[in-house]
Each structure stands twice: as C-alpha cells, then as structure tokens.
Structure 1
Amino acid sequence: MSAADTSRAGASWGRIDLHAHSTESDGTESPRELVLQAHAAGLGTVAITDHDTTAGWADAAAAAREVGMGLVPGVEFSAQQQWASVHVLGYLLDPAAPAFLAERERIRVERVERAQRMVERIGADYPLTWAIVQDHAAPGATIGRPHIADALVSLGIVADRSAAFDGILHWRGGYYQPHRAPAPTEAVRIIRAAGGVPVIAHPAARGQATMDERVIAQLLDAGLMGLEVEHRDNPPEAQEWLRGQARLHGLITTGSSDWHGRGKPNVFGEHTTTAEALDAIVELGTGAEPILPA
C-alpha cells in the first residue's frame, strides 16, 4: 500500500457488512439497490460479493459515492472439495488478473451448463423450462440453482427458495447435477495472486465441506487470510471453534448477513464485521480500492 493509501486504514467505517449479493449473481436487487438498502438499514460500509463475477462493482461504487457509504468490492468464488462446496470470499482483488479472469469464465460456463442439465431433468417431472428459468435472472447474470428455485416458486411447485433447496434442488432430490469447480486451495491462490484477501465464507454451513484442522492447514499453506465466523449458518459451537482457529493462526474474522434481497430471509446488519478486521483487510488488499465513507 502506498503512502497515499495509508488513510484507508482507520477510516470511520460505521457498521460493516461484508457479504451481499445482487442481480449480477443470485440476489434479487440491482447493485445500486443493494447499496441503497444497506444504507437504509443503517450500515456505514457494505461489500458486494456476487458469485464468480465483479460485474456489479461499478454501479455499486457509484451508488456508494452518492449516499456517502463505504464499499468493499469483492467476489464469492465457487470452489469444491470432493463432492461438497466451499465458498471463498475475495476482497479487493484485481478483476483483470489473468488467472482470475480465466477461472471466472470457466466457472461461469460450467454453472450455466450444469443449470441447463438440472432444468432438463426437473422438466421431465414438472412444468419447468429453461425459458422460464431465464425469466428469473437479470440480463447477463450467470444462471444457477437460485434462479431455478425462483422459477419453481413462480410455478407454485415449492413455497420458497428454502423449500426448493431442501427438496427438489437438494443433492439427494434426484435432480442434482455436480459441477466442476476449483479446489478451495486453488481459489485461495487465485485470489491472492490477484492481490485480494481470501476469507472462507460460512465455514460451518450445512452442506458445505467440513472445516477441520487438516483442511485449515491446507488453506493456510495456500494463503488463507480469514474466516467468516459470525454468520447465521454457522452454529454457535462452530463459531467458538472457528474463533479459536483464527486466534491460533492469526486469521482475520468477519461477520456478515449474506444478504440476497428477497431471495433469502437474511437481513442487512444481522451480523457485522469489526472496524479492526476491515482495517486489516484494507491493509492487505492490493488489487482494488475500497470506497471510503464520506
């Protein structure tokens, strides 16, 4: 970080939420609306972390400057350990880094092909078509399981996204299709190579690969910098264990809502990150600049 940038650390960030999604991935609100709703919820700083894309950064940044909010540009990288998913948040990375660009495009293509395979299988038993699913995604967004869930809700097949993921879209539901994704260690390396700060998202969430000492050791060797500890999907006992691992290994700990707009019940600011943790992220990230609160 240059001398001119040292003022970034120690900024008056206000209340901080470092995990939110827009229509550029599986959220229901535009990047601009994401920022405006974060501001209305009393946050001082928010991160935009769409799945495998940085397409919403510019609109979110413009909205943040308009209302005087802090904004941390980020991404939620899709990774996979054996058959289980692992999501890796990357903050302040360079969106033009070659390795990141190549992997992002490969993941995007694979996600769409996987979604098409699932829709074809579901459509054999329910009145679901690819055209209906496309109607539930914003132009240019990479279609994934949340958009299929929204289509199932619109057809009255399930009550809401949660019911879709607990039933038809569950890996035991009979329609699930696996997809290729990098190992979490590779995702961490790609984020680091792009100047970003890698943080494991909701490490103890149901359905995500189990985090144990062995896995964390592998991630540390790859360059892991943090754990998202305070999150509604991490049980209290798991949060305590994760805090202990963070203390042991000198990792940053974050808290966030994982907001998706109307797509999930998660509420902005239900969990937050400390200013000290964000200062550490800002000092370590070299690939992109945060927007400082006015």
Structure 2
Amino acid sequence: MRIDLHTHSNASDGTQPPAGVVTSAAEAGLDVIALTDHDTSDGWDEAVATGERLGVRVVPGVEISCLRGGVSVHLLSYRHDPADEPLARMLAGSRTSRASRARLMVERLGPDTGLRWEDVLEHVHGGATIGRPHIADALVARGVVADRDEAFATVLSGRSRYFVPQTAPDPVEAVRRVRAAGGVSVIAHPAASKRGSCIGDADIEAMVEAGLAGLEVDHRDHSDAERAHLRDVARSLGLLVTGSSDYHGTGKRNLLGENTTDPEVLARLDALAEAGAGVTGTSPR
C-alpha cells in the first residue's frame, strides 16, 4: 500500500482542483492520500467523492499555519470535525491573516516590480486561501522571476525587504484545538532548515504534551542528517513517523509518492482519530 499524507489543491496554493489531485494520485499508483490545503477544508468533499470513484482513499486534512517564537510551524491536522467552532475560528483567522499579509507584500513589491493586487487575484481559484505562492505565480507571469522556487529564494524569502511576517496561532494551542475537534496532528517538515529557522526539540516536547501524534520526517526539504535527528526525537518521545510529498501540482517540483508513510503508521493515526471522536461526539471521516 502506497500512502502520501501531504498534498495541496487549488483550494489553497496547489495548481489542480481537488479531483485533479486525486486523479493524479491514482495515476501515480497511490492507494491513500491526505488532502491538506492551507487553513481550509473546502476541497474535502470533491476529493473524497473522486477517491471513492477511483479507488483511492482520501484522508481529509488541513495544514495549519502557526508561529512559535517568531518561527513558522506548519501543523498537519487529520480527520478533525470541520464543524468544530473553535478550530474553525482559528482557521478563519489564519486565512484572514494570510490575505492581509499578501496585500502588504504586494504593496511593497509594487514600486519595484509593477505588481498589482489584481495580478495576484488572477492566480487565485475561487475562495482559495491566498498566500505567497499566488504572489509568486503573479511574479512569474510578469517575468520578474522564472518560477516559484526562484520567487521564494529571493523576493518572497524571509530575508527579503518585501517580506511581511504572518499573524498565526501558537502550535501548542493548535494541537489542543485539533485534538478537541477529534483530529490527529503531525508537524509538517519540522527540520527543513533550508526554509529558514526551525523550532527546537523543547518546542516539540511542548506540543507532545498538548497531544501531538507525529513528525513528518521523510520530506524532500530534510537532509539525511535532519531525518536521522527527527527519527531519534520521534523515538524518544513516542511519536509516529510519516513521509509525504507536499505535492502542489505544477506549483512545486515535489512529485506524488516521492516519500510515503508506512501502512502501520496510518492504522495508528486512524485509531487515534477514532478514539478522538469521543471528545466532541462526532465521527471523523
């Protein structure tokens, strides 16, 4: 069984609709994928329906944008109740923050690049969560950069004078919210130093105390040394280890199934989600 627990559609910053992501997963020989768009569950129904038709199980999820001590943390939440009001408010706040941040960055970029907010909106699908990838796509269209990778390495990087930090919840609180909503949480690419500063082991321990279930270890942005360290941390804290592609369609070079999760790990995540359903009285998908 081939399992990829981190993918994105154009409900956030991927380039394919949810049905397209699932179709591509089937073509790539995957049996299970998680759709984990940024701060939104809007693509769940379409993805699940397509998966049922194609024989691909879709695990509903969200990638929650968090900040701890000024460091960006991405938290993958699986199988939570999308109607849980406290978690829904948290995600709505993150989406609002993303949009405000994007506007400010466009204002800073405008005088030097000619970029306008209208240019960015042309690359946003429907009510998708707006973020830096959409700014990157607009910059590519204007010929300012060659692709998203160049944009994130230069004008959109955390070191750029155009960069605007995001307002986001603390990941410890986000883990608590996910658990209270009947979901299970895993930190996405926690040691990806090439992206910028990373949280420390003590921060991970604090998240474990709040109910964290696992670490995404096998990810293309982790070096061999970073993967080895994360496996040691997971072992010492009793955390599950996942592997994923972080697929964004043509928005990134990441390929579906380039890293995968062991079926035993998925079974344990499912068991935790089923146990967590009793927290809210709901039944996670």
The aligned runs of 1:32-71 (5 Å cut-off) are: 32-71=19-58
Q: Which residue of 2 aligns with 1:272?
A: 260
Shift of 1:215: 1.4
Please say if 1:157 is aligned against 2:127. no
The aligned runs of 1:72-83 (5 Å cut-off) are: 72-83=59-70
Q: Which residue of 1 aligns with 2:218?
A: 230
The aligned runs of 1:205-244 (5 Å cut-off) are: 205=192, 206-244=194-232
2:7/2:35 contact within 8 Å kept = yes
**Deviation string, structure 1 residues 19-70 (Cα, Å, up to 9, x no partner):** 0000000000000000000000010111100000000000001100110111
Q: Which residue of 1 aligns with 2:77?
A: 90
What code does the residue aligned with 1:171 have? Answer: G
1:81/1:209 contact within 8 Å kept = no
Shift of 1:208: 4.9
Q: Which has the higher contact order (CA 8 A, sep 6+)?
A: 1
**Deviation string, structure 1 residues 112-151 (Cα, Å, up to 9, x no partner):** 1110111011011111100010000101112110000000
Q: Which residue of 2 aligns with 1:110?
A: 97
Unaligned runs of 5+ in 2: 278-282
Q: Which residue of 1 aligns with 2:153?
A: 166
Shift of 1:289: 4.1
**Deviation string, structure 1 residues 226-255 (Cα, Å, up to 9, x no partner):** 000000011111111111111112111100
Q: Which residue of 1 aligns with 2:249?
A: 261
Alpha-carbon separation, structure 1, partners of 2:21 and 2:255: 12
Please say if 1:175 is aligned against 2:175. no
Alpha-carbon separation, structure 1, partners of 2:173 and 2:154: 31
Give the SS at the match of 1:49: strand
**Deviation string, structure 1 residues 141-166 (Cα, Å, up to 9, x no partner):** 12110000000001110010010011
Give the SS at the match of 2:7: coil
Alpha-carbon separation, structure 2, partners of 1:131 and 1:88: 30
**Deviation string, structure 1 residues 251-271 (Cα, Å, up to 9, x no partner):** 111000000000000000100
What code does the residue aligned with 2:243 have? Answer: G
2:245/2:255 contact within 8 Å kept = yes
Please say if 1:250 is aligned against 2:227. no
Q: Which residue of 2 aligns with 1:21?
A: 8
What code does the residue aligned with 2:207 have? Answer: L
Alpha-carbon separation, structure 2, partners of 1:34 and 1:266: 13
Give the SS at the match of 2:113: coil
1:44/1:69 contact within 8 Å kept = yes
What code does the residue aligned with 1:180 have? Answer: T
Alpha-carbon separation, structure 2, partners of 1:208 and 1:197: 26
Please say if 1:202 is aligned against 2:168. no
Unaligned runs of 5+ in 1: 1-13
1:47/1:74 contact within 8 Å kept = yes
Q: Which residue of 2 aligns with 1:284?
A: 272
**TM-score of the superposed pair, with normalisation by structure 2:** 0.95
Q: Which structure is higher in helix share? A: 2
Give the SS at the match of 2:268: helix
Give the SS at the match of 1:26: coil
**TM-score of the superposed pair, with normalisation by structure 1:** 0.92
**Deviation string, structure 1 residues 172-198 (Cα, Å, up to 9, x no partner):** 211011121011111111111111111
Give the SS at the match of 1:124: helix
Alpha-carbon separation, structure 1, partners of 2:163 and 2:102: 9
What code does the residue aligned with 2:105 have? Answer: M
Shift of 1:209: 4.2
Percentage of pairs with the same residue: 49
Alpha-carbon separation, structure 2, partners of 1:224 and 1:21: 22
